[in-house]
Amino acid sequence: MKKLFALLLVAGMVAVVACGPSAEEKKAKEIADSTAKADSMAMVQAAQQAKMDSVAKVAADSIAKAAHADSLAKKLIKK
């Protein structure tokens, strides 16, 4: 009975140790997670930059239209 109990105890310990991920798997998962996080941050920054660029273009266009309208009003240019 003692041998059976010892055998079951050893088998249980082996099963517990074998269930967890290895150090290599943990490191690979950590690298993949950090890469995914960096990629997502880059995408967010690119989207923000595109938004800022479009806002700047709209502002420049409105300034150009205002300048054109002002020049027309002062009769500096013709239609």
CA–CA gap between residue 66 and residue 73 (Å, rounded): 10
Can you give the pLDDT of all 79 residues of the chain as single tens digits?
888 888 888 888 888 777 777 788 889 999 999 999 999 999 999 999 999 999 999 999 999 999 999 888 888 887 7
pLDDT of residue 41: 97
Instruction: Please tell me the pTM assigned to this model.
Output: 0.55
Residue ranges of the domains in the chain?
A: 44-79
Burial per residue of 35-55, b for 16 or more beta-carbon CB atoms within 10 angstroms, e otherwise: eeeeeeeeeeeeeeeeeeeee
